[in-house]
Amino acid sequence: MPSVGLRPAAVALAILVLGASAGCDGSSEPPSGLPSASVTPPASSPEPPAGELVPLPDGVEVEADWTPAGDAVNDAAVLSAINVVRSMRAVMATGRPDQVPYRNYVTGAGAKAIFDDFVLPFVEAGLGVVGTDRLFDFKVSDADADSATVTFCNDQTNIHAINRASGATVQPTPPLPAGYRLTQEVSLSGGRWKVSASAVEEDVTGCVLDR
């Protein structure tokens, strides 16, 4: 497998946006409780209606072990956190950082700079992503009418990066962590919940699910 060297920020990108399963069955059905989304967006994906999932390209899947609890603030905050991952996944799969959902969900100046530093080096290296990652253990704290903090895990033990031009599997150097915990501060802006700040804890044992 070819090796592709990325600077540390680009490796951290994989923590946030890569996730793959060699045995992905191509199903586009979301887990129970999540709204539906198409899996083939145009090159520059439009913004989905509020309360819906960001669409994903073919070959990419984001599974979220979460069921809406009926609390409007908590549910909207978690859905926005899921959509940030989905929007970054779409950018990484297509190599198009101009996609509307990505630009609109990551709005805080600090968060946008961090995510761009993760995403853009990966895009510029000509890499893409295929497969599935699994989000779970969602926790919402410090919630009020227009802000909240969402913490969750991403198991990415089956990650595969690919060369976008050839489709060949490549291995970023250093290797990608198996699991991470992401903390996102989200706030209500223009009728949507968006990320204003973010932090990542890498190589978290509890964020890797049993197979």
Domains of the chain: 3-36+54-207 (3.10.450.50)
Say which residues have a Cβ less than 8 Å from residue 50's Cβ, sequence separation at least 6: 191, 192
Q: Looking at the predicted structure, is the pLDDT value of residue 66 above 60?
A: yes
User: For residue 171, how many other CB atoms are within 10 A of its CB?
Assistant: 14
Residue with tokens 């996944």: 89
Cis bond leading into 174, ω under 30°? yes
Pick the more confident residue, 202 or 149.
149
Q: pLDDT exceeding 90 applies to what percent of the chain?
A: 24
| Residue 134 three-state SS | strand
Which tens digit of pLDDT belongs to each residue from 98-133? 887 777 776 666 667 667 777 787 788 898 888 888
Which tens digit of pLDDT belongs to each residue from 141-200? 999 999 999 999 998 877 688 899 999 998 766 566 788 899 999 988 888 888 888 888
Mean pLDDT of 60-66: 93
| Residue 187 three-state SS | strand
Distances (CA, A) of 46 to 2, 40, 110, 131: 34, 12, 24, 22
pLDDT for res 190:
80
Residue with tokens 């009418």: 145
Write the DSSP symbol of residue 207: G
